Structure 1
Amino acid sequence: MPTIRPATAADLPRLHPVVERAYRGDSARQGWTHEADLLSNTRTDLATLATLVDGDSRLLIALDGDTILGCVNIASRGDSLAYLGLLCVDPALQAGGIGKQLIAAAEATARETLAATRIEMTVIDQRVELIAWYERHGYTRSGETRPFPVPIDPPLTMAVLTKPLFDQQQLP
């Protein structure tokens, strides 16, 4: 079972290649959830990752010893709303439960650290299999769509998924 903890600035040079492998290029195609067939540019950079480790955002990483297996970002959007993004697992390790563990850690962080009662995320609407995976984990389509954050041609649309967050002690 991996260890999940907040990332530090020192982790980012080792994390960045994992993110790129998971989202883009031929290496991403080893896994089942990637954007390699839709996008060819880089997913992120070190400067952007650095903005996710401070303030109203937490970047959580899954580790096996010193090896980074994946990550997830959870950020406050105010009004008891958290945003989940950048969920990824090294493509060679996908479908092994690490993503599920990262989501659980992100949701706990949203509740306990950010005082969120609900969470949202955006997923490229063409990624039907990924949306179905999130739906199996309690997320539902809100009916809202947003434009992809970077202008591309042809344009992509993001589906907004939401989930209420309950205190685990309140569940029956």
Structure 2
Amino acid sequence: MTDIVIRDAAAADIPALHRLIESAYRGEASRAGWTTEADLLDGQRTDPEDLADILADPAQALLTAWRDNELVGCILIADRGAATGYFGMLSVSPTLQAGGLGRMLVEAGHDALRERFGALRVRISVFPQRETLMAWYQRLGYGPTGETLPFPYGNPRFGLPLRDDLHFVVMERELA
């Protein structure tokens, strides 16, 4: 993927970020890519207030990927303490998925976690129902920790579950 510029998100980017993240995870538009959660959840993936909270928190950041003046991808990075970083909200425009941009954002996230937060390892959380996505992360060096996290049922800010067996599998890898 050429001509991509990766930079920190700014408050002015929130409307574009919100549109991108929703299109990558929810609704019919998300089905154009392979990372959709539309069969697991309805409703929103995030909201502008959540994005503003992330940008205001010095222990978190959103890295954005731009092609020309178009936002085409993003990744949330966070410091979890004890030399552990976290990333989530990896979003690539559905029509550009499977072209290397997601991997580029993960690598940029790894670099930023090491440089900004001194992370020696990074964790992610994935729905186990998304076997293809878990396999992609395993190819990137992630392995299951044996830990799981509950899905926040009853909080529509995280989406409207379409099934009653949602939870997250925690995966981790060391950072070189």
TM-score, length-scaled by structure 2: 0.91
**Structure 1: 4+ residue segments shifted above 6 A:** none
Could you say which residue in structure 1 is the equivalent of 2:45?
43
Task: Measure, in 2, the Cα distance between the counterparts of 1:132 and 1:52.
Answer: 28
Note the residue ranges of structure 1 that are not aligned, 5 or more in a row.
167-172
Task: Measure, in 2, the Cα distance between the counterparts of 1:79 and 1:133.
Answer: 26
Higher normalized contact order (CA 8 Å, seq sep 6+, divided by chain length): 2
Could you say which residue in structure 1 is the equivalent of 2:173?
163
Task: Measure, in 2, the Cα distance between the counterparts of 1:110 and 1:14.
Answer: 24
Shift of 1:52: 1.6
Q: Look up the equivalent residue of 1:21 and give its one-letter code.
A: S
- Match among 94, 110, 115 for residue 112 of structure 1: 115
Q: Look up the equivalent residue of 1:135 and give its one-letter code.
A: Q
Could you say which residue in structure 1 is the equivalent of 2:19?
17
Task: Measure, in 2, the Cα distance between the counterparts of 1:86 and 1:3.
Answer: 18
Could you say which residue in structure 2 is the equivalent of 1:170?
none
Could you say which residue in structure 2 is the equivalent of 1:169?
none
1:26 has 2:36 as partner: no
Q: Secondary structure at 2:165's aligned position in 1? A: coil
Percent identity (aligned):
44
Task: Measure, in 2, the Cα distance between the counterparts of 1:138 and 1:30.
Answer: 26
Q: Check the 8 A contact 1:124/1:148 in 2, yes or no.
A: no
Task: Measure, in 2, the Cα distance between the counterparts of 1:144 and 1:114.
Answer: 23
Q: Secondary structure at 1:78's aligned position in 2? A: coil
RMSD, aligned α-carbons? 1.0
Could you say which residue in structure 2 is the equivalent of 1:8?
10
Q: Secondary structure at 1:33's aligned position in 2? A: coil
Note the residue ranges of structure 2 that are not aligned, 5 or more in a row.
155-160
Could you say which residue in structure 1 is the equivalent of 2:137?
134
Report the more deviating stretch, 107-116 or 142-151.
142-151
Report the more deviating stretch, 146-155 or 107-116.
146-155
Shift of 1:164: 0.5
Q: Secondary structure at 1:84's aligned position in 2? A: strand
Shift of 1:157: 1.3
TM-score, length-scaled by structure 1: 0.93
Once the two structures are superposed, what CA deviation does each residue of 1:125-161 show, in whole Å capped at 9, x if it has no partner? 1100000000101111111111113444513010100
